[in-house]
């Protein structure tokens, strides 16, 4: 089975998911709409053949026949409209089904490794709409019913011609199918060229989104990048398209020759019909039917805009299936916890990790103990792997070798989702979600039933009370000026929201507080106050702080220095200062800069 046909079968197989009843009604309407022209063809044949006789003998019968043609034409029009409406509805529903499947597939894996996979990103883009995408899915369902109907009608026309004259039928059928096969093959080849360079397509989509999706608005203006971004989009897009256009141009002479040949066949058929009529071998009625049937065969030899529409939807739906398959290679959530979670120290036992197989290891054998109920800090140069350690702790990635344990239990033996419910986290690149402040804070905890008191306490501890008092709708204010009544927050205020989110989670039962540069955007006074509150809120719990701010780090019970993929030093602040190693040097440097 060719790729084109198998993706068509795939698309057809997806239709019931968009509604079994609607699929059945649409299929029935397609068949009925396809049969109507065949009936009309016969009635017109009868009409043409009997006009002279009925004009002379039976005018009422003539009127009846004319009325039948009129009614059939009207019904055909109405059936066409009904079919378009039904197939659009079916297409829209399929659209929704596929979009939901993509969203599920992308969010299902427990880890983040699939997001680093270039193939996943290419397929996501293909599924999402590089070339028509979801909108194309709707169009392709409309095209499918339209083309399916035309094909059925053409089959009926072929049978009719073969029945009138097997020889003429065979010649016409073979020539139409041959030209149609050629036209479709050329069409598929030129479309497949568009898939040759998915990496470049993704690059061009990146530049398009940079201009359209927001997020880089300030930089585009300050650095005067708008023109550059548009140029890059144009050049990468045209590089992808140019080869397809070149190929299309190359195929034009071949197709032109094929259609000229088909024209010759038509001329021959017309001559044969005229001869058959003048020689009285064939009646006018049969000739009228034959002419209509030959015209109905045209569909077999042409590629229309419906084929293009169908192709876009087929590509998108095939990309959805391929995306799901690819993402299936990454671990999804375990069905149930393998081992019940216990308490205990968090232990990294000779952990090695690289983001990609064969690439440089970020962690080269980390041995690290994070004592239960105590505050631990991790420091080290930019890019030494501190955030990576936290990602392994949260099981966004799994170690290549070694183990991360809580007490005696390896984290890999726990259900990752259940494990994460025990963690309250402040990420370095914290989430700035355009939702109400209430949602933004409550999202931190899996158990969100803390009520107003828990929210207020988290806000107070995170230093958010003043901000809250100034918000137009208090807790219900949407945190984005892009929505009606919404406001934007400053960088530091956003960071306080992130801290409040983690403190709320701690209040709602999380056992471990994980913070990656939680106070980097806060002014010195706010940092001091907020960090004191965090320590108070986390008293007796395990907390892990990754930070370059030694004023906060020094307060931890235990400090680890990560360097070149291993723990180079560890101890309390006084112990590390007394040792005079890299920690002491970094601390002194920062203190000196502040003096
Ligand atoms: N998703 C990823 N894919 C490939 N490499 C990555 C990825 N994330 C991080 N890295 C690389 O891993 C190394 C460690 O990054 P990590 O973010 O853990 O450093 P860090 O110590 O937290 O740095 P910083 O102090 O600047 O926040 C860096 O060289 C970085 O380029």
How many helices (H) and strands (E) in the chain?
A: 21, 10
Which residue lies with its CA nearest to atom 4 of ligand 1? Answer: 355
Residues whose CB falls within 8 Å of the CB of residue 536, separated by 6 or more in sequence, listed in order? 461
The fourth-level CATH superfamily of domain 415-594 is P-loop containing nucleotide triphosphate hydrolases (3.40.50.300)
Better pLDDT: 134 or 39: 39
116 backbone φψ class: left, alpha, beta (φ>0; ψ -120 to 50): alpha
Q: Taking CA 423 as the corner, what is the angle to CA 421 and CA 425, rounded to the nearest 5 degrees?
A: 120
Does the C-beta of 389 come closer than 6 Å to ligand 1?
no
Ligand 1 contacts CB of residue 396 (under 6 A): no
**Residue 336 pLDDT grade (very low, low, confident, very high; cuts 50, 70, 90):** low
**Pocket test residue of 387, 519, 565 for ligand 1, highest count of atoms within 8 A of CB:** 387
Q: What pLDDT score does 164 carry?
A: 93
Tell me how far the alpha carbon of residue 428 lies from the centroid of ligand 1, in angstroms: 12
User: What pLDDT does residue 193 have?
Assistant: 63
Length in residues, the chain: 595
Range 529-533 average pLDDT: 86
Least confident of 132-146, 214-228, 542-556, 562-576: 132-146
Residues 6+ apart with CB under 8 A from 105: 320, 323, 324, 327
Residue 566's Cβ-count burial label (10 Å; 0-12, 13-18, 19+) is middle
Report the run of H or E that residue 305 belongs to, with start and end: helix 305-327
Q: What is the CA radius of gyration of the chain?
A: 35
Three-class SS state of 126: helix
> Distance (Å, rounded) from C-alpha 551 to C-alpha 530?
12
The rounded percent of the chain whose pLDDT value lies above 90 is 49
Reference 33, options 147, 122, 137, 163; nearest CA is 147
- Under the banding of pLDDT at 50, 70 and 90, the label for residue 195 is low
Confidence of residue 134 (pLDDT cuts 50, 70, 90): very low
Regarding predicted confidence, which is higher, 85 or 444?
Answer: 85
Tell whether the model's pLDDT for residue 133 goes beyond 80.
no
Burial of 96 (0-12, 13-18, 19+ CB in 10 A): middle
Cβ–Cβ under 8 Å, residues 204 and 233 = yes
Count Cβ atoms within 10 A of the Cβ of residue 410 and give its class: 0-12 exposed, 13-18 middle, 19 or more buried. Answer: middle
> Can you tell me the distance from the alpha carbon of 533 to that of 131, in angstroms, rounded to the nearest whole number?
52
What are the respective helix, strand and coil percentages of the chain, to the nearest 5? 65, 10, 25
Using a 6 Å cutoff on CB, does residue 116 contact ligand 1? yes
The CATH homologous superfamily for domain 3-327 is: ABC transporter type 1, transmembrane domain (1.20.1560.10)
How many angstroms separate the alpha carbon of residue 400 from the centre of ligand 1? 16
Mean of all residue pLDDT scores within the chain: 88
pLDDT at residue 431, rounded to an integer: 78
Give the per-residue pLDDT at 267. Answer: 95
- Give nearest CA residue, ligand 1 atom 19: 383
- Confidence band of 1 (pLDDT split at 50, 70, 90): very low
Residues 6+ apart with CB under 8 A from 166: none
What is the rounded average pLDDT of the residues 207-213? 85
Ligand 1, atom 5: closest residue by C-alpha? 355
> Using CA atoms, how far apart are residues 65 and 312, in angstroms rounded to an integer?
43
pLDDT for 196 equals 64
The protein residue with its alpha carbon nearest to ligand 1, atom 16, reads 385
For 516, list phi and psi in degrees, rounded to 5. Answer: -110, 105
Task: Note whether 143 and 84 are within 8 A (CB).
Answer: no
Query: Which is more confident, 52 or 382?
Result: 382
- What are the pLDDT digits (tens) for 497-518? 999 999 999 988 899 999 999 8
The Cα–Cα gap between 406 and 415 comes to 13
Phi, psi torsion values for 529, nearest 5 degrees: -65, -45
Name the nearest CA neighbour of 251 among 325, 182, 173, 318: 182
Give the residue range(s) of CATH 3.40.50.300 domains in the chain.
415-594
Atom of ligand 1 nearest to the CA of 391: 18
pLDDT at 201: 79
| Bridge pairing between strands 558-563 and 375-379 | parallel
Residue 362 CB less than 6 A away from ligand 1: yes
Work out which ligand 1 atom sits closest to the CA atom of 112: 1
Out of 104-108, 306-310, 479-483, pick the least confident: 306-310
User: Ligand 1, atom 26: nearest CA belongs to which residue?
Assistant: 382
According to DSSP, residue 328 is labeled T
Q: What is the pLDDT of residues 446-462, one digit of tens each?
A: 777 778 999 999 999 99
Using H for helix, E for strand and C for coil, what is the string for 244-269? HHHHHHHHHHHHHHHHHHHHHHHHHH
pLDDT of residue 131: 44
Q: At what angle do helices 305-327 and 166-193 cross, to 10 degrees?
A: 50
Dig out the tokens for 291 from the structure. Answer: 């002419």
For the range 13-21, what are the long-range contacts, defined as Cβ-Cβ under 8 Å and sequence gap of 24 or more?
A: 14/94, 14/97, 14/98, 14/317, 15/90, 15/94, 15/141, 17/94, 17/97, 18/90, 18/91, 18/93, 18/94, 18/96, 18/97, 19/90, 19/93
Give residue 132's pLDDT band: very low, low, confident or very high (50, 70, 90).
very low
Return the H-helix or E-strand segment holding 347.
strand 346-353
Place of tokens 């006009």: 51
Helical spans, DSSP H, in 368-490: 386-393, 416-420, 437-442, 451-461, 465-470
Query: Which ligand 1 atom sits closest to the C-alpha of 356?
Result: 4
pLDDT at 333 (0 to 100): 60
Which two tokens mark 313? Answer: 């939807």
> Is pTM beyond 0.95 here?
no
CA distances from 221 to 227, 264, 266, 378, 398 (A): 10, 61, 62, 38, 40
C-alpha 364/C-alpha 356 separation (Å) is: 14
Alpha carbon of 387 to ligand 1 centroid (Å): 7
pLDDT in the model for residue 335: 53
| Lowest-confidence pick of 38-47, 194-203, 268-277 | 194-203
Determine the atom of ligand 1 nearest the C-alpha atom of 384: 21
Mark 222-242 as b/e (b = at least 16 C-beta within 10 Å).
Answer: eeeeeeebeebbeebbeebee
In angstroms, the CA 582 to CA 517 distance is: 20
Task: Identify the burial level of 460 via C-beta atoms within 10 angstroms of its C-beta, where 0-12 means exposed, 13-18 middle and 19 or more buried.
Answer: middle
Tell me the C-alpha distance between 399 and 368, whole Å.
14
113 lines ligand 1 (CB under 6 A): no
Q: In sequence order, which residues have a C-beta less than 8 Å from that of residue 358 and are 6 or more positions away?
A: none
Classify strands 346-353 and 401-406 as parallel, antiparallel or unpaired.
antiparallel
Is residue 210 very low, low, confident or very high in pLDDT (cuts 50, 70, 90)?
confident
**Could you tell me where in the chain the CATH 1.20.1560.10 domains are found?**
3-327
Contact 445, 505 (CB under 8 A): yes
């Amino acid at each position: 089975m060719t790729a084109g046909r198998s993706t068509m079968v795939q698309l057809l197989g997806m239709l019931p998911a968009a509604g079994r009843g609607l699929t059945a009604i649409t299929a029935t309407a397609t068949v009925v709409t396809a049969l109507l022209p065949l009936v009309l063809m016969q009635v017109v044949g009868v009409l043409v053949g009997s006009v002279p006789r009925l004009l002379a003998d039976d005018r009422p019968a003539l009127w009846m026949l004319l009325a039948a043609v009129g009614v059939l034409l009207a019904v055909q029009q109405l059936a066409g409209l009904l079919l378009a409406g039904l197939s659009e509805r079916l297409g829209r529903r399929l659209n929704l089904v596929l979009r939901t499947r993509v969203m599920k597939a992308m969010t299902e894996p427990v880890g983040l490794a699939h997001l680093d996979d270039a193939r996943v990103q290419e397929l996501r883009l293909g599924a999402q709409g590089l070339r028509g995408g979801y909108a194309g899915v709707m169009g392709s369902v409309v095209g499918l019913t339209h083309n399916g109907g035309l094909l059925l009608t053409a089959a009926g026309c072929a049978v009719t011609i073969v029945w009138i004259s097997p020889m003429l039928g065979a010649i016409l059928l073979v020539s139409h199918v041959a030209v149609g096969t050629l036209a479709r093959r050329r069409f598929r080849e030129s479309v497949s060229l568009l898939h040759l360079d998915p990496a470049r397509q993704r690059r061009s989509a990146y530049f398009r989104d940079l201009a359209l999706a927001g997020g880089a608005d300030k930089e585009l203006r300050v650095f005067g990048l708008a023109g550059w971004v548009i140029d890059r989009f144009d050049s990468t897009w045209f590089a992808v398209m140019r080869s397809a256009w070149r190929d299309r141009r190359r195929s034009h002479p071949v197709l032109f020759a094929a259609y000229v040949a088909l024209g010759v066949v038509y001329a021959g058929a017309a001559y044969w019909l005229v001869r058959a009529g003048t020689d009285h071998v064939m009646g006018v009625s049969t000739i009228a039917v034959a002419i209509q049937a030959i015209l109905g065969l045209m569909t077999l030899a042409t590629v229309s805009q419906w084929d293009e529409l169908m192709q876009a939807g087929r590509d998108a739906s095939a990309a959805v299936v391929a995306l799901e398959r690819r993402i299936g290679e990454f671990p999804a959530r375990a069905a149930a916890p393998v081992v019940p979670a216990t308490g205990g120290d968090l232990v990294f036992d000779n952990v090695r990790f690289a983001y990609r197989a064969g690439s440089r290891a970020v962690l080269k054998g980390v041995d690290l103990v994070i004592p239960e109920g105590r505050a631990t800090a991790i420091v080290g140069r930019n890019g030494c792997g501190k955030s990576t350690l936290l990602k392994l702790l949260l099981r966004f990635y799994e170690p290549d070798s070694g183990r991360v344990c809580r007490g005696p239990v390896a984290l890999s033996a726990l259900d990752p989702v259940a494990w994460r419910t025990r963690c309250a986290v402040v990420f370095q690149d914290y989430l700035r979600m355009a939702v109400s402040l209430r949602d933004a804070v409550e999202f931190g905890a899996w158990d969100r039933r803390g009520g107003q008191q828990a929210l207020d306490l988290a806000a107070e501890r995170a230093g958010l009370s003043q901000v809250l008092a100034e918000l137009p709708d208090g807790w219900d204010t949407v945190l984005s000026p892009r929505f009606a009544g919404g406001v934007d927050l400053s960088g530091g205020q956003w960071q306080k929201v992130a801290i409040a989110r983690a403190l709320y989670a701690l209040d709602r039962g999380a056992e471990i507080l994980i913070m990656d540069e939680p106070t980097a955007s806060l002014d010195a006074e706010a940092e001091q106050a907020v960090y004191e509150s965090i320590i108070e809120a986390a008293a007796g719990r395990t907390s892990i702080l990754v930070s370059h701010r030694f004023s906060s780090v020094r307060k931890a019970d235990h400090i680890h220095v990560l360097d070149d993929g291993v723990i180079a030093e560890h101890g309390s602040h006084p112990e590390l200062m007394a040792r005079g190693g890299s920690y002491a040097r970094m601390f002194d440097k920062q203190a000196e800069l502040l003096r």
